[in-house]
Amino acid sequence: MTGDITAWLASAREGDPRALARAFESLYAELKRLAAARLGQGGDATLSPTVLVHETYLRLFAGGALPLESRQHFFAAAAQAMRWIIVDHARRRLADRRGGGLVRVEMDEDQVDELSPQRVIELDQALERLARASPEKARLVELRFFAGLEFPELVALLGRSERSLKRDWASARAALHAMME
């Protein structure tokens, strides 16, 4: 299946609009599973897993086909788009409430929806700073935290050992926690 995805993405780069649709359709169930893991089973009234996946598609492909090269590149772009959508959603929620009743929540592998909008925005800002210092760790956080990929999936996607990914994950979490304090 990975070969099919790569071939469809190559066809899409060459101008075949149906190839991109086929690639997205074949990864739709996996993206929806990841979105559900990030948001919880129901999400909230305005950001459900289905809405997150559809918004991700629109962010990725509304302006024309992106030059995606592989399954790894697709998931990296999807993770970044999911991050932007979740952060934008948190900003809108925070703008509605202006910070009332915020509770401190530690960044963990738990669901994004459990973080307050303020903490999601703080996490996004800290992640921007981490990306300047270590783009690889920031990408790992996006894939792990925002897209919800598990370590075995990350090993296959990034081509690194699980041990080194776990080490980088712990380091990135510590750095983000320090930046958010």
Interatomic CA distance for residues 75 and 67, integer angstroms: 13
Domain residue ranges of the chain, discontinuous segments joined by +: 2-180
| pLDDT for the residue numbered 161 | 93
Interatomic CA distance for residues 9 and 12, integer angstroms: 5
Contacts of 64 (CB under 8 A, 6+ apart): none
Q: Kindly report the CA angle at 143 between 64 and 113, in degrees rounded to 5?
A: 95
Are the beta carbons of 86 and 112 closer than 8 angstroms? yes
At 16, the pLDDT band (50, 70, 90 cuts) reads confident
> Is residue 42 over pLDDT 60?
no
| pLDDT for the residue numbered 164 | 93
Chain mean pLDDT for the chain: 80
**Residue the block writes with tokens 């024309």:** 64
- How many residues appear in the chain? 181
**Residue the block writes with tokens 């996006």:** 142
Are the beta carbons of 34 and 148 closer than 8 angstroms? yes
> Is residue 165 over pLDDT 90?
yes
> Quick count: other Cβ atoms within 10 Å of Cβ 155?
16
> Is residue 7 over pLDDT 90?
no
Note the pTM of the prediction, 2 decimals: 0.60
Range picked from 23-32, 33-42, 166-175 for highest mean pLDDT: 166-175
pLDDT: which is higher, 167 or 147: 167
